[in-house]
């Protein structure tokens, strides 16, 4: 994934019902990169997805991500 020149990344979870471990790794990589060069926002996180992030311990990692 190329982030060259990207200063803001917005991910809309409105239609996300499931995310695999590979998908979680992509989110982690994106968050790490955006911490260095900009801002990452995630919107429309369902209760189910929030519970998954909490169960996996990733909710703390995404604490700096703005959930709108």
Mean pLDDT of 11-38: 90
pLDDT digits (tens, 9 = 90+) for 33-68: 888 888 888 888 888 888 888 888 887 777 656 555
Instruction: Specify whether the CB–CB gap between 43 and 10 falls below 8 A.
Output: yes
What is the reported pLDDT for 2?
Answer: 55
The CATH superfamily holding the domain 8-67 is STAS domain (3.30.750.24)
pTM: 0.74
Distance CA 37, CA 51 (A): 28
Distance CA 55, CA 52 (A): 5
Give the torsion through C-alpha atoms of 2, 44, 65, 22, to 10 deg: -50
What is the reported pLDDT for 63?
Answer: 64
């Amino acid at each position: 994934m190329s982030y060259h020149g990207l200063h803001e990344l917005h991910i809309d979870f409105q239609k996300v019902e499931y995310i695999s471990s590979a998908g979680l790794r992509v989110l982690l990589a994106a968050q790490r990169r955006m911490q260095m060069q900009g801002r990452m926002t995630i919107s429309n996180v369902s209760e189910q997805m929030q519970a998954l992030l909490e169960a996996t311990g990733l909710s703390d990692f995404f604490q700096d991500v703005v959930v709108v």
